[in-house]
């Protein structure tokens, strides 16, 4: 009899937010573990108490960092897709804040800009999705140095189908600092081949 070991990769994020005159994060909890990630990471952002707790494993030892940074009202942890479904495609640029999921909590800005429309096929119907480009603005001296030393995070690309009920269609981006680009998309749409520059 052979014992089988199942190794599972987990990227699980749960966000609680309010939506009145604007979106507000109440609490966000991100868990990443498994062979797809360099180290297990558990990030809890509690906007009500102002506490950010990061639990991670380094050299086989569990470490916990707890900080109380000043959390801005436009914090977007766990809400990027919900926010993009509410950004009008004619809006030239939007900016929100994010606590980056790293062992050392870092507050960054996300700069969101539309980049035209792309067609996709769903069954026999051809539809269009607005393509948004999300850039990370690290800010400060670190932000100036990051592109020079190859530490500038890659852009994230998100496609949202517009209409009365805008819907997520596809995302291409990294799930952790310095990680490879992942593609998350609905199972049914068919897309034309990307231009050579984006392959």
What would the pLDDT profile of 14-59 be if each residue is shown by its tens digit? 999 998 888 999 999 999 999 888 889 999 999 999 999 999 988 8
Mean pLDDT calculated for residue range 189-193: 77
pLDDT band for position 81 (50/70/90)? very high
CB atoms within 10 A of CB 120: 20
pLDDT band for position 197 (50/70/90)? low
pLDDT of res. 125: 84
Q: CA 108 to CA 166: how far, in whole Å?
A: 26
What would the pLDDT profile of 171-180 be if each residue is shown by its tens digit? 999 988 888 8
**Is the pLDDT reported for residue 188 higher than 80?**
no
Cα separations (Å) of 54 from 41, 71, 180? 7, 15, 22
Lowest model confidence (mean pLDDT) among 40-44, 58-62, 122-126? 122-126
Lowest model confidence (mean pLDDT) among 84-93, 113-122, 143-152, 158-167? 143-152
Backbone angles phi, psi at 82, to 5 degrees: -65, -40
Give the residue with greater pLDDT, 148 vs 158: 158
């Amino acid at each position: 009899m052979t014992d089988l070991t199942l190794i599972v990769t987990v990227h699980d994020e749960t966000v609680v937010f309010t939506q009145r005159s604007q979106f507000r994060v109440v609490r966000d909890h991100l868990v990443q573990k498994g062979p797809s990630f360099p180290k297990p990471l558990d990030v809890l952002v509690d906007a009500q108490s102002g506490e950010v707790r990061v639990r991670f494993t380094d050299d086989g030892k569990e470490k916990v960092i707890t900080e109380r940074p000043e959390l801005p009202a436009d914090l977007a942890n766990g809400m990027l897709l919900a926010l993009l479904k509410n950004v009008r495609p004619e809006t030239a640029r939007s900016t929100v804040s994010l606590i980056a999921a790293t062992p050392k909590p870092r507050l960054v800005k996300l700069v969101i800009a539309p980049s035209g429309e792309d067609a996709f096929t769903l069954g026999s119907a051809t539809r269009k999705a607005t393509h948004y480009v999300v850039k990370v603005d690290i800010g400060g001296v670190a932000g100036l140095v990051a592109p020079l030393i190859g530490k500038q995070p890659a852009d994230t690309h998100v496609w949202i189908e517009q209409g009365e009920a805008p819907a997520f269609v596809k995302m291409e981006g990294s799930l952790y600092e310095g990680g490879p680009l992942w593609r998350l998309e609905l199972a049914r749409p068919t897309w034309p081949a990307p231009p050579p520059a984006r392959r």
